[in-house]
Amino acid sequence: MAFKFKVREGKNPKTGQAMFYAQADKVNPVSIYDFAEEIAHSTTVTEADVKAVITEFEVRLMKHFQNNESVRLESVGSFCPRMWSTAARLPEEFTKANLKRIAVRFTPAASIKYSLRAENPAMVFERIVEEE
């Protein structure tokens, strides 16, 4: 397996000159069922048990986010809620209507960051050449 990418033309933000950059190819999602099956085949845990744990993980993440807490999985990374809002001129003018969205930022653990680096000899890349 390889990380697939395409080469796309873009502009250098500093010079405005046309340059070519890597862009990840379409990323295909893996379903919870396929993910659970993969884990079950490489462990002594059943597929149903894996799916149950992943489903409960999602429930627990939401509980902690609603309590303004981040969740750190040492060998995976951290999940941290982030908030965006519009500004108010005065603190007393700020209301719930100013809140625009809440999202989750994932910060990978150091081992995952390293495994995805281009310098990692185990990381394989495949350039996709589009036909014209």
Whether 11 has a pLDDT exceeding 80, the answer reads yes
Please report which confidence band the pLDDT of residue 131 belongs to, taking 50, 70 and 90 as the band edges: confident
User: What's the whole-number average pLDDT of the chain?
Assistant: 93
Written as six digits, the tokens of 95 are 């209301």
**Rounded to 5 degrees, what angle do the CA atoms 101, 105, 111 make?**
175
Question: In sequence order, what are the residues at sequence separation of 6 or more whose Cβ sits closer than 8 angstroms to the Cβ of residue 47?
Answer: 33, 36, 37, 39, 40
Q: pLDDT over 90 for what percent of the chain?
A: 87
